[in-house]
Amino acid sequence: MTAVANPVLPGCHPDPSVCRVGDDFYLVTSTFEYLPGLPVLRSRDLAHWEPVGHVVHGAPDLSGLPSSSGLYAPTIRHHDGLFWVVCTVVDQRADGRAADDRRPGLGHFLVTATDPAGPWSEPAWIGGDGIDPSLFFDDDGRAWVLATRPAREPEWPGQTEVWLRELDPVARQLVGPEHVIWTGAVRGAVWAEGPHLYRLDGRYLLVAAEGGTEVHHAVCVARADAIEGPYVGDPANPVLTHRHLGRGVDVVAAGHADLVEAPDGSWWAVLLAMRTSGGYHYPLGRETFLVPVAWEDGWPVLAPGVGRIPPVVDAPDVPGWPGDRVVSGRQSGPVLPGDLRWTGVRALPTDVATPAGDGWDLPLRPATLADLDAPAFLGLRLAHPHADLVVRVAADLAEGEEVGLAVRQSERDHVRLAVTSAAGGARTARVLQVRGGASERVLGEVALLGPADAELTLALEARGPDLHLLAAAGGGAPALVATADARTLDSVATGGFLGLWAGVHATSAGRPTATVARVRAVTYDPRG
């Protein structure tokens, strides 16, 4: 066994789903409004994950969707020589959690691929309502979809129900009657969601999250003799939760698990949780953790003998893995244009910028980070409590234009280290924060000395809840401009479901322009 630190996928990798094909495991996570969407990662030990591609590039269309909308809770499975992913596109403005059928391109869709790196098929819209769809291929050749929606006849506020319908895998449409198979394990618990089905020892096992994706999150299980039910809950429910540990613990909100069997017969669960920082805050968002699974009386026991996510997990030892492969979230140093960690907001990185050497040519766009649009933003997940992001960039800015480094939660909440030019070429670096969609506030500013065309060095030094933003021109050592508080940007403070992204941003603030920012290099280094 190999001792590996949890989380195995640091940074915002929520709602993990996993499947195994031969000796390889494949995992996908939610990405909401970021593109490319739904990263596909491969592993042989469940601990070191190599990015191989993304499921969503051009379709579905995410334009105009507010932050924390978009691609919700995918499930990946392998059947009959194909990889299958089912997911939901949600407009968060609709009703807070459920898909809205008033806009085309919302709801549940299904895609397939022979190679998990892609290309993936065009989305097939399968119908059904709610969120968190999952796929199950039964031993008899039938296929099923299950998902979560608000209960039609709720017994308490926030109650949801898990529905099940057969899938025609050829027509890629739901068929036959609908069955409501689960409404939650604990009376009064909200959001029984993230359901997955498995067939073990002739019975059907249902694994679902419960309690909402915050401090009360939990993993619950039930089983039935027939796929349509009735399902009986495990007397040990919830089988894993951190809610009894309170908000002061280092890892909160354990839930949304998916189970998988390794080639050696051992069982494991990937699930989401959040590492706290500076109190009950989690700026990195929901990350992917790994726990071992044992079986007792036909029921899964997650993290046996411990009862919580361990800080270090003994993962399967696979000789030669990961070797020199790029491992998502753990590598440091230059982040080149071909790195699969790059993301854009409602647009692909290559839609807003062009690879150029070790960096990018980033044309300024009229859109700002506050707009429901596709801004000129090249972002990376902030994946470590302590990390440095350094950007070298050059731009001949007109008055009113800006280039900089941004830390983004949403269009309503973000921080920018923005460099602007005044008449005569004098440049100023300001740290600006937008909170709750209100007018931006200046946290600090410095004058940048040197020629107007001198290359800029912009840096983020994340140190727990403190985000130090530094700038320099002409090769000098970056000086502190201001410090922002990450606790004002996380989803506890702002709402939504995302961790923080950091990256390069450029805008002409609503005006047409031909200015291009030359991003020479970007480096990301975990610290400690």
Of 520, 430, 434, nearest to 470 by C-alpha is: 430
- Distance, in Å, from the CA atom of 274 to the CA atom of 250, rounded to the nearest integer, reads 8
> Taking a C-beta distance cutoff of 8 angstroms, is the pair 38, 56 a contact?
yes
> Taking a C-beta distance cutoff of 8 angstroms, is the pair 313, 517 a contact?
no
Of 213, 207, 206, 223, nearest to 190 by C-alpha is: 213
Residue type, 314: D
- Distance, in Å, from the CA atom of 227 to the CA atom of 178, rounded to the nearest integer, reads 12
Residue 11's H or E segment, with its range, is: none
Pairing of strands 267-275, 287-296: antiparallel
Helices and strands in the chain, H and E counts: 2, 39
Q: Residue 230 — φ and ψ, nearest 5°?
A: -75, 145
- Distance, in Å, from the CA atom of 109 to the CA atom of 69, rounded to the nearest integer, reads 15
> Taking a C-beta distance cutoff of 8 angstroms, is the pair 468, 481 a contact?
no
Written as one string, the DSSP assignment of 51-68 is EEEEEESS-S--TTPPTT
b/e code 422-459 from CB counts within 10 Å (16+ = b): eeeeebbbbbbbbbeeeebeebeebebeeeeebbbbbb
Catalytic residue among 193, 388, 411, 461: 193
Instruction: Give the other-Cβ count within 10 Å of 461's Cβ.
Output: 19
Q: Among this protein's residues, is 193 annotated catalytic?
A: yes
> Taking a C-beta distance cutoff of 8 angstroms, is the pair 256, 274 a contact?
no
Of 525, 23, 524, nearest to 261 by C-alpha is: 23
* Lookup: tokens for 55: 């499921």
Instruction: Give the other-Cβ count within 10 Å of 137's Cβ.
Output: 18
In angstroms, what CA-CA distances link 261 with 2, 234, 270, 353, 367? Answer: 17, 20, 11, 41, 46
Catalytic residues: 15, 193
